[in-house]
Amino acid sequence: MTTTTTTTDAQAARRAPVWMHGVAAAVVAASATSALAALASAAGVSFADTSGESIPVSGFAVLTVAFSLVGVAMAAVMARTARRPRATFVRTTVVLTVLSFVPDLVVGFDAVSAATLMALHVVAAAIVVPTLAKRLATTR
């Protein structure tokens, strides 16, 4: 007896682990950004804005997980609706990563803090985006 897998079944099997891998990537990214933020803070980066409020190291983990989970949700939606899920996801996340630099530039961080924050956004994206993109089909 021969079993035939339809395209829909193959896509469903490929999509199923998107959320699971995304959550794992979010945890890894949160750990990485928190560790790097702690190192930067120890090296003298203040992460304080013009009001003097400083971002706590735990805030890096919380925000990284939160925004990574937004990315997981986007990947899941694009897997079901986009004509080219992988390319659409990658293009969208690159644009959103660049847009995530805007608050770092306008909130009033000093140059070193802003540059470090932007680098941490890139670190998180470099962990989460490829992990999710690999799980998305190239075409639907």
The number of domains in the chain is: 1
In tens, the pLDDT along 11-50 reads: 544 444 788 999 999 999 999 999 999 999 999 999 998 8
User: In the predicted model, what is the mean pLDDT of residues 106-115?
Assistant: 95
1 domain residue, yes or no: no
3 domain residue, yes or no: no
In tens, the pLDDT along 48-84 reads: 988 888 999 999 999 999 999 999 999 999 999 999 9
Q: Which residues contact 32 (CB under 8 A, 6 or more apart)?
A: 123, 124, 127
pLDDT at 50: 87
Check if the beta carbon of residue 70 is closer than 8 Å to that of residue 26. Answer: no
pLDDT at 13: 45
33 domain residue, yes or no: yes
pTM for this prediction = 0.85
139 domain residue, yes or no: no
4 domain residue, yes or no: no
Residue 98 β-bridge partners: none
pLDDT at 125: 98
Domain that holds residue 79: 9-134
